Structure 1
Amino acid sequence: MPDGTVVIADEPHLLARPFTRFWAQFLDELAASVIFVVPLAIVNNLGVPLPDGVMLLPLIGATLYFLLQDGLPNGQSLGKILMRIQAIDERTGKPCVFGQSVLRNAFLFLGLIDVLFILSSRRQRLGDRVAHTLVVHTLTAATRSA
């Protein structure tokens, strides 16, 4: 079995490397900025009067996206789709669900404390450990070696 491979329910999964996970997260942050912040900034710069509280909408939208992103189909956020990785349940191998997504991503707000855990042998952040998730390549280890 190649290094960085785990077997869940008799299926080998190749763990995503920290660098790949970094780029997926970067792409998600970029997408959230474009979707939630840029349109509001443009409207605001055009001098269009905005009702009180509207400026909070991008923050709320981006926060919801970050908390729920890995519960999207196949355990993949936009960044994970582009980087060909996914979040899965470490016990079943099935894609991450919304509850796990909220739990694992809530720990992102701890910053470096959460991320340092990714250097473990199973490459799990603290949030992954609490939510019982792993981030793996979408192609199984068996498919990659074939």
Structure 2
Amino acid sequence: MKKITGSCVCGKVEFSVADQFVYAGYCHCSMCRKSSGAAGTAIGGIPKNHFSVTKGQDHIKRFNRTEESISCFCEHCGSALYGEKPSVRMVHVRYGALNNNPTLLPQAHMHVSSKAQWYEISDELPQFSEFPDA
């Protein structure tokens, strides 16, 4: 199984993930926009047992966004790295934190009902008002 790595900007946190993402897409929810400072965030979903922090576990801060979503970021540089989804045992890896290209590229736009009004989606990927059903 091919592994790919990721890290924060300052290098204090590193992680490894199997290149077996189940789904990938651009999230346009207001929380992803605010935490990234951008129009949205590219994420890949992977079962938690295919993801591991390999360096700097003690430098990761967690923020409970909702009951179903915990944002994980570096306490030093503020890099958003991944989100934990405990109820479904998944991790949403921020593709921007990856050091290597994943095989599965984003497949859709999610939460477009709350996308920034100033941003126009200009590709042909499917768009979902919320998170698409499995």
TM-score, normalising length: structure 2 = 0.28
Name the one with the larger helix percent: 1
Name the one with the larger strand percent: 2
- Indicate the structure (1 or 2) with the bigger Cα radius of gyration: 1
